[in-house]
Structure 1
């Protein structure tokens, strides 16, 4: 059984292998019967799937011959196989975790006898967020002596107005903060809770009135611990939270802070 670890642990193990050649297909547009919509309902929806196959050996022979062989993977076949399999009209509903697993299985089938070191899969729902750019799940599986996997649920670029700032003018009107949130080592049973997670984040921030984004960010983590991560199975998870304040510095895109905290502090 795979051991779920934090992304930093996974990356450290991966880097020990040295330079790695990769084959990837990015943002493959598919309609899937998976995950939940922005209202938390099980519905067919549009997803952008990214899959990366990290090769156990360089694709030198394919490069030297200028022809595809078993040292590499045909990305055209990979794309077509994913599209035809994932968009099956008769497919029953599956969780996002299971969808990511299916993508990995299909990719390895296409790879065939090509030696694969690890796989990275990202499933992104552009309309999985009410106030942001979307929500998604990234899953990486590395196989050597032991099987390590990293699973990260994320919310991308939530734009939430709140009262924030130390200057007198900033106390007069709400301004937007941009929030990105990653939850690492989340149990599979919570992989489709991104709509609920967004609601918890928005509720925490909307009515706040801090002077610093440092205080704001730690409050959000505290609120999530108390009101969202309430199950025993959540105890191994970690929250990584990034908060940007785009209107604070006129000549920069945005100042930002980022924190990492265990769910059970």
Structure 2
């Protein structure tokens, strides 16, 4: 199958669709993914956003003023997402009678949750392949969405409490859907995002900024995220360590050092998952009090982990 693409590139290839149906921040709770302390199986809130980009405008639905097959019923879309999450919960409950090792293996990662919802909605796995009938399930259930009518699907699962210092963690899967009968793999992407880490940091060129730490807000995004495990607490830990030890004058120097440390962590600990071209990493650093009459001053850096490591190897 084709390698993952950065999510921004898949969005670019999708272009401007003629119609979109969205459900934003559908809220529930989950037991499975790591929490802010990297504990598995603890209850925590979860929200899901889905954006269904259609190949054609919903002319029939708009003309008849009712939901026809040329659109997506957002109420039923919400129910389908919740049904997928309920299925995961039921699988966990069925494993409670097993030994401790078996129970731990049933705890879903954040990626497992995204993949399960994706497969239930589209009838395709994360590689774009349709499931095959088995002895246990001789009939393949029809998917909620019809891939033949979809140009692109973007699905985001957000854990708002899975960070000690920030606004949570999210994983976004996006893919294009080809024409009927088209066999070649369609572009697809998967991106991990750690939202709005608020970290006291010694940073700045002014004399007063050298006297005390100020809050810097960091948002980290890792594209082409081909890692099965929940590693977001480790990514947050690496970010906090670098920024807490900072004595830089500029956000640019801090962002560059942070990029090198994150790239080194990824390649040192997850080489079995590394794609040939490395991971695209995007770092945004904001100083909320740097400019008095502005909400924040921000510097953003986008790098590739393999290219960054070339500078320090």
2:151 corresponds to which of 96, 117, 134 = 117
Q: How much does 1:20 deviate? A: 2.8
Q: Secondary structure at the match of 1:201?
A: helix
The answer to whether the Cα contact below 8 Å between 2:156 and 2:173 also exists between their aligned partners in 1 is: yes
Question: Is there any run of 5+ residues in structure 1 with no aligned partner, and where?
Answer: none
The answer to whether the Cα contact below 8 Å between 1:200 and 1:228 also exists between their aligned partners in 2 is: no
What does residue 42 of structure 1 align with? 40
What does residue 8 of structure 2 align with? 8
List structure 1 runs of 4+ shifted beyond 4 angstroms.
none
Cα pair distance change 1:81/1:7, threshold 3 Å = closer
2:177 corresponds to which of 132, 140, 143 = 143
Q: How much does 1:31 deviate? A: 1.8
Q: How much does 1:33 deviate? A: 3.2
The answer to whether the Cα contact below 8 Å between 2:84 and 2:117 also exists between their aligned partners in 1 is: no
Map residues 93-108 of structure 1 onto 2, 5 A cutoff: 93-108=107-122
Aligned length: 262
What does residue 73 of structure 1 align with? 72
Say if 2:171 is the partner of 1:129: no
Distance in 2 separating the partners of 1:203 and 1:53: 39
Say if 2:192 is the partner of 1:153: yes
Decide which structure has the larger Cα Rg and report it. 2
Distance in 1 separating the partners of 2:235 and 2:61: 45
Distance in 2 separating the partners of 1:5 and 1:47: 26
Distance in 2 separating the partners of 1:8 and 1:45: 29
Q: How much does 1:23 deviate? A: 1.1
- Normalised by the size of structure 1, how large is the TM-score? 0.93
Q: Secondary structure at the match of 2:267?
A: coil
Distance in 1 separating the partners of 2:112 and 2:18: 27
What does residue 126 of structure 2 align with? none
Distance in 2 separating the partners of 1:81 and 1:29: 13
1:180 corresponds to which of 219, 225, 241 = 219
Which protein has the bigger strand share? 1
Distance in 1 separating the partners of 2:66 and 2:20: 16
The answer to whether the Cα contact below 8 Å between 1:31 and 1:87 also exists between their aligned partners in 2 is: no
